[in-house]
Amino acid sequence: MSAYKKLISGGLDFESDYAVIITSPHNLRYFTGFTGGEALAVISDKRKILITDFRYIEQAENESPDFEIFDLSGDKRYEFLKNECADCSKLLFEDRYMNVSEYNIIGEKTGFERLIGASEKIDKLRMIKEEWEIERISKAEEIGSLAFSHILKFIKEGVTENDIALELEYFMRKNGAEGLSFDTISISGEKTSLPHGQPSSKKIKCGEFITMDFGCIYKGYCSDMTRTVVLGRASEKQKEIYEIVRLAQETGLKALKSGIKCCDSDKAAREVIEKAGYGKNFGHSLGHGVGLLIHELPNVSPRCDIVLEENMVVSCEPGIYIPNFGGVRIEDLVCIKKDGVLNLTSAEKKLIEL
């Protein structure tokens, strides 16, 4: 099924006399194929329209052959929208991504009472990945795994956190990535107690944890992985913390399968850390969906009761973070299957002492 058909085939659970207004770049790409800059799509059971401007017309015609393409900007764009949607009783829009200014303009032109925020319903249509999407995510994750193998030969005493981050990024771009999924995390020593710590000019010292959380984009799709290593010999406490996280991740991976609620998968991994006495040191979710965005549905968290289905792609990333000591996170990216997962991450997970 072409992606746009999901919007008009009952997937949004609305009556037939509605139109969907798509403005976010990732959903424009998913539902129309258009990868350019500024654009707006209107999709109903009657017409499929993509509005952009002169800069992107040729690109839109090539990338979105199923859509009528219009070169409109400014007020002309919204007047067109008003006329096109005149017969629609409901206008579904991406309330999570549309700014207030655009909402006000569209509301004034079409009637605020007709606008219905539907971001969550729209985004849920992307949760189950097509095979070609999984292939792209797998390729992005493969690039990341290769980057990890490369960086192990680069890390030595005296290199900085920034050096490691830049080397990871350069390697991924050099090996097929078109960009980064997110800002690379490369932190060391006590800073590894910060789940989203930022790399700095701090030099790596022997005996320190080094946590690297990084990912890249391949043909629009993201990867995500985290590994924690030690430069030199690990202390007994470092080994203890690492082993608890490794066991929690292994348990979490076994609890990820079709038919299981996200919250139950999170609980399985969290209990391992809690029983070890570090429950208060694991404050984030077990994982999250990954696709066109680095964070998308479903959320594998204690509060999410979405039931996992085959071909959802999620991360599995438990961690322990101890202030004034350091922390460990281990993250894989997996594709949900009927009886378990297909692990897309091939990088080594045993404790590596460099």
Is-contact 60 42, C-beta < 8 A?
no
Q: Report d(CA 313, CA 153) in Å as an integer.
A: 30
What mean pLDDT is predicted for residues 100-104?
94
pLDDT band at 15 (very low <50, low <70, confident <90, very high): low
What SS3 class is residue 284? Answer: coil
| Predicted local confidence at residue 104, as pLDDT | 95
pLDDT at 199: 98
C-alpha dist (Å) from residue 350 to 21, 145, 245? 47, 14, 11
Q: How confident is the model at residue 166 (pLDDT cuts 50, 70, 90)?
A: very high
The two most distant CA atoms of the chain are separated, in Å, by 70
List Cβ neighbours of 80 (8 Å cut-off, separation of 6 or more): 51, 70, 72
DSSP H or E segment with residue 267: helix 262-275
Q: Where are the beta strands (DSSP E) in 97-242?
A: 115-117, 179-180, 185-188, 209-214, 216-218, 221-222, 225-230
Q: Which pLDDT tens digit goes with each residue over 16-51?
A: 689 999 999 999 999 999 999 789 999 998 899 999
Q: Which domains does the chain have, with CATH numbers?
A: 3-124 (3.40.350.10), 131-343 (3.90.230.10)
- The enclosing H or E element of 201 equals none
**pLDDT band, residue 208 (cuts 50/70/90):** very high
Q: Taking Cα atoms as reference points, which of 227, 223, 265 lies closest to residue 245?
A: 227
Q: What is the pLDDT of residues 253-296, one digit of tens each?
A: 999 999 999 999 999 999 999 999 999 999 999 999 999 999 99
- Please, which residues have CB within 8 angstroms of residue 295's CB and are 6 or more apart in sequence? 288, 289
Strand 90-93, strand 115-117: pairing: parallel
Confidence of residue 1 (pLDDT cuts 50, 70, 90): low
Q: Which range has the worst mean pLDDT, 16-20, 51-55, 111-115, 196-200?
A: 16-20
pLDDT digit string, tens, across residues 85-94 = 888 889 999 9
Percent of the chain with pLDDT over 90: 91
Query: Taking CA 322 as the corner, what is the angle to CA 283 and CA 254, rounded to the nearest 5 degrees?
Result: 50
Residue 301 pLDDT class (50, 70, 90 cuts): very high
What whole-number distance in Å separates Cα of residue 249 and Cα of residue 219? 29
Closest CA to 204 of 170, 167, 171, 244: 167
Task: Give residue-wise pLDDT tens across range 123-161.
Answer: 999 999 999 999 999 999 999 999 999 999 999 999 999
CA dist 209 → 161, 189, 275, 328 (Å) = 12, 5, 23, 8
Give the whole-angstrom CA distance, residue 342 versus residue 137.
Answer: 12
